[in-house]
Structure 1
Amino acid sequence: MKPIWIVDDDESIRWVLEKALARENLATRSFANARDAMDALKTSTPQVLVSDIRMPGETGLELLQTVKATHPGLPVIIITAFSDLDSAVAAFQGGAFEYLAKPFDVDKAVELIRRALEESLREANVEQVSAETPEILGQAPAMQDVFRAIGRLSQSNVTVLITGESGSGKELVARALHKHSPRAAQPFIALNTAAIPKDLLESELFGHERGAFTGAQVTRRGRFEQAEGGTLFLDEIGDMPFDLQTRLLRVLSDGHFYRVGGHQPLKANVRVIAATHQNLESRVKDGLFREDLFHRLNVIRLRLPSLRERHEDIPLLTRHFLAQSAKQLGVEAKRMSESAMQFLATRELPGNVRQLENLCNWITVMAPGQTVEIKDLPQDLIEEKGVEPIGPVASAMALPVQAGAFSAGDAPVGGIPLNGASHVAPAGMPPYLNGGESWISLLESEAAQMLSAGQPEVMEALGRQFESALIKVALKHTHGRKNDAAVRLGIGRNTITRKIQELGISGAKDD
């Protein structure tokens, strides 16, 4: 972490702050005038800058202007006498993080510096993530179309709407659009609108003034101000609250906004790129998304393909993620055998590229050898493909069941053993009987008979058979260890214990 700079011609002020911050294990660097600090800024930067207003030579206000011109994200705290409060207010409006009025309480000064430090580190982390983000990888025709679109948009500042499934890499595309745009030298700021609570989202977007609400002890810049001159990426825009959509529409329309609790309009020079996995046209029809905002965002639409539309890219992405994961952990990168890579390339990964990246992280940590075989992959991945059977196939039925497909209290009808069958096939096995008839057809037939006979609580009756069969097979696979069986089924230990008692299943034992 960089040091905190203290700029004040009063040696006693510098000494007090140096000692107080040293007790907090915070490094400092002191200057007796603004000119020395300005010269130092040419070769280094602080994490936070604390400066007096009135000093011989250049003033603290001039230092503030220099800092904001070259390092707009650097928090500056102004120290002022009571008689300089008008100047302090002017500095505050000019971008100062906060001001300290003389004489100040040292503990309060340290607390304020810590808040400024947190703000500085948060923005530095955003910049670091942006710098470390790799280029998009892909050789599939669907990805080549995306690359061509990015190339066509490289000299444009037009608003772009990126659509695609979760985990398909929408933020990477947004970063690429920024990197290859005229705004590349300016900030790229990303915000997932679905991840921020509704009552905080407005402040995150537009910032707030001091005292705007309980807990707003300092003025804070929002994402629009942080992205000034650059690009603001709004992920999951379809989840934005309706009332905030109106405020966003105004910014897109005339380029002005207000901080929460503010009365002075601020000008935004920001390119907006939005993304969603939802169908915005449907949300407009349902009254959940403003039609005028949709048209403002939908200037250029860029659809990102899912991973199942680009299977040929899986080997390329896998090698990249394995190398990336190994670098992060400081170990040698794992290698996929030809059979394991072919197996992985046939997988339907609903989590798309994000799921593949997580899988590669797992392989780096958990796979035993340097060359990864199919048997070294996560067991649930193997079982879904039916590579290694985990139990005998029922003579009357082969039932595909994916681990974690049901939760306690639910009784899914997709996959219910009929006629009390006690054995099911491993997950991912073909869902056909020996005679070729689908188990779903038998399920429908069984359910129809029960309904025609007027049997009550059909769902519960079939659901109990379903759960009983699953648990029995899991227990057999784990040699009766119920906790291990619970993990394999994707349910909790308390849940499987309760189900065993309710269903009267025997043969279970604690691990």
Structure 2
Amino acid sequence: MKPIWIVDDDPSIRFVLEKALGREGWPIRSFTQARDVLKALADVDSTDPQRQAPQVLVSDIRMPGGSGLELLEQVRAQQPGLPMIIMTAYSDLDSAVSAFQRGAFEYLPKPFDVPKAVELIRRAVEESQREEVADIQTPVQAEMLGQAPAMQDVFRAIGRLSQSQVTVLITGESGAGKELVARALHKHSPVAGGPFVAINTAAIPKDLLESELFGHERGAFTGAQTQRRGRFEQAEGGTLFLDEIGDMPFELQTRLLRVLSDGHFYRVGGHQAVKAHVRVIAATHQDLEQRVKDGAFREDLFHRLNVIRLRLPALRERKEDVPMLTQHFLQQSARQLGVEPKRMSSQAMHRLQTFSFPGNVRQLENICHWLTVMAPAQQIALKDLPPEVLGAAPPGTAQLPPAAALPVASAAPRLEEDFSAMAHESAEAGQSAIPCGWLEGLGKQAQELLAQGHNDVWDQLSQKFEAQLLRAALAATHGRRVEAANRLGIGRNTITRKLQELGLDNEEFD
């Protein structure tokens, strides 16, 4: 791992952070002034462990030889992806605003609580590592993004179709990115050198759609002062994308079928056939088979369009792509507005990944643009998310009854017993998951503690929840901490720290 760099002219601050970060197993490099940091950055060498670039930079704001804000500007110019935390004993509004405006990851006022400072640095490290992975995996101008298996199937299909001009039908919910797929099919096809022309058949009035598609001759109808080329002629030698084909009027479906079968058409009011050398790609969010059964869509046209069908998954079906897409849209919005890209906190990202996204990728793009404008800090916290995300209950959560309807009892001890009993029952039954009622039980315990007037409900329940997870993992691995950490999906240093914090360090797990 790359080192954490600390720059502060106060030796006591450096000492405290060095010891705290050293206990976490992180390599550290300390400096007393900004100019030394800049020299070290100019001398980094990835092949030399002593000269590696920093993973995170933690800097005081007021130091001899240059301020932390000046250092922040210079570092951002050299390494824009490096998270930098600004510390200061002068906790004024101007310092905080200046730090965030110049791209600081976070602002840490002195004196600070050491565990909270370490947790903040840990979040910065995670952000830095995510940025590094994204830089490797994501092209700067990627036309489509997706690591989910369903999206990889779409990418493979586009690759297989790259040497073909066959008609393709793209299905998927509104906002899922059907036009992006159509553009990718065009770009990677033998007609890529020709035009890509798109028309939404649901957005154009029925009386005008025929003229839009096929053009018209002069005098064909009132207002037709000149001859006009339609979309088929505009797409000559390229691709015509017919979006929302399921909404096309029934009488126009016959004309479209003739073009697909004969390869020629007539302009409105025309008597001379026009040859069409056009590849057609259609898309719909509707169930065309059902539309055929209902008599709203021609069966023969359906079969003409349904030569190759590509189904584009909804965003809720590929939640693993949300972080990558979010980063992409935040960077895109920042470029459009001429500001620094904002970053998502782990809590905010988790909430986004549990959101159902009824508007699919288009809705995520809009949310990212909203956050770029409205989120107050460079790092987007959970509370910064828009109301439609915060107001949606995450999947699997239950609606809790009001506190007054619940019996008041000594909740905290019983919670630990409930978890112990559930873990024991699951182990005996060979189950891989806690019974589904545990969330309701947790909610009831929280309501009871709140009804009793406790002000530390979060700490009480979080500690007991974490303790049960640790006990279960260590019991399953016979006390092997590294294996238990891997099974839980946390770091080795994290499990050691948690055992100490929860007083479990001396327990034996066989």
TM-score where L is the length of structure 2: 0.51
- Is residue 296 of structure 2 the alignment partner of residue 288 of structure 1? yes
Q: State the alpha-carbon separation in 1 of the partners of residues 273 and 308 from structure 2.
A: 28
- Which residue in the other structure is 2:210 paired with? 202
Q: State the alpha-carbon separation in 2 of the partners of residues 225 and 383 from structure 1.
A: 48
**How do residues 237-256 of structure 1 correspond to structure 2 at under 5 angstroms?**
237-256=245-264
How far is the alpha carbon of 1:431 from its aligned partner?
A: 10
**How do residues 364-443 of structure 1 correspond to structure 2 at under 5 angstroms?**
364-385=372-393, 393=402, 395=404
- Which residue in the other structure is 2:171 paired with? 163
- Is residue 318 of structure 2 the alignment partner of residue 310 of structure 1? yes
- Which residue in the other structure is 2:237 paired with? 229
* CA displacement, residues 191-239 of structure 1 (integer Å, 9 cap, x when unaligned): 1100111001001100111111111112111100000000000010000
- Which residue in the other structure is 1:139 paired with? 147
- Which residue in the other structure is 2:188 paired with? 180
Q: State the alpha-carbon separation in 2 of the partners of residues 306 and 205 from structure 1.
A: 29
Q: State the alpha-carbon separation in 1 of the partners of residues 402 and 330 from structure 2.
A: 36
**How do residues 117-156 of structure 1 correspond to structure 2 at under 5 angstroms?**
135-156=143-164
Give the counterpart letter for 1:294 in structure 2.
F
Q: State the alpha-carbon separation in 1 of the partners of residues 440 and 301 from structure 2.
A: 46
- Which residue in the other structure is 1:300 paired with? 308
Q: State the alpha-carbon separation in 2 of the partners of residues 331 and 133 from structure 1.
A: 18
How far is the alpha carbon of 1:181 from its aligned partner?
A: 0.1
Mean Cα displacement is larger for which, 165-174 or 207-216? 207-216
Aligned with residue 265 of structure 1, among 273, 283, 303: 273
How far is the alpha carbon of 1:380 from its aligned partner?
A: 3.2
Q: State the alpha-carbon separation in 1 of the partners of residues 332 and 192 from structure 2.
A: 24
- Which residue in the other structure is 1:106 paired with? none
Are residues 344 and 435 of structure 1, via their aligned partners in 2, closer, same or farther at CA, if it must alter by over 3 Å? closer
Give the counterpart letter for 2:353 in structure 1.
A
- Which residue in the other structure is 2:285 paired with? 277
- Is residue 340 of structure 2 the alignment partner of residue 326 of structure 1? no
Give the counterpart letter for 2:207 in structure 1.
D
How far is the alpha carbon of 1:240 from its aligned partner?
A: 0.3
Give the counterpart letter for 2:293 in structure 1.
K
* CA displacement, residues 317-363 of structure 1 (integer Å, 9 cap, x when unaligned): 00000111111111111111122112211111111101100101101
Structure 2: which 5+ residue stretches go unaligned?
1-139, 407-438, 446-510
How far is the alpha carbon of 1:133 from its aligned partner?
A: 8.8
Q: State the alpha-carbon separation in 1 of the partners of residues 243 and 440 from structure 2.
A: 39
- Is residue 351 of structure 2 the alignment partner of residue 343 of structure 1? yes
Q: State the alpha-carbon separation in 2 of the partners of residues 137 and 238 from structure 1.
A: 27
Give the counterpart letter for 2:298 in structure 1.
R
- Which residue in the other structure is 1:212 paired with? 220
- Which residue in the other structure is 1:475 paired with? none
Check the 8 A contact 2:355/2:394 in 1, yes or no. Answer: no
Please identify runs of 4+ aligned residues in structure 1 that moved more than 6 A: none
Q: Percent identity?
A: 77
Mean Cα displacement is larger for which, 375-384 or 148-157? 375-384
- Which residue in the other structure is 2:371 paired with? 363
State the SS of the aligned residue for 1:162. strand
Q: State the alpha-carbon separation in 2 of the partners of residues 295 and 357 from structure 1.
A: 34
Q: State the alpha-carbon separation in 2 of the partners of residues 143 and 375 from structure 1.
A: 31
Root-mean-square deviation (CA, aligned residues, Å) is 2.9
* CA displacement, residues 269-321 of structure 1 (integer Å, 9 cap, x when unaligned): 00000000111111101100000000000000111111111000000000000
In the comparison of the two structures, how many residue pairs are matched? 273
State the SS of the aligned residue for 1:384. coil
Check the 8 A contact 2:266/2:273 in 1, yes or no. Answer: yes
- Which residue in the other structure is 1:107 paired with? none
State the SS of the aligned residue for 1:154. helix
Give the counterpart letter for 1:154 in structure 2.
S
Are residues 201 and 394 of structure 1, via their aligned partners in 2, closer, same or farther at CA, if it must alter by over 3 Å? farther
* CA displacement, residues 56-88 of structure 1 (integer Å, 9 cap, x when unaligned): xxxxxxxxxxxxxxxxxxxxxxxxxxxxxxxxx
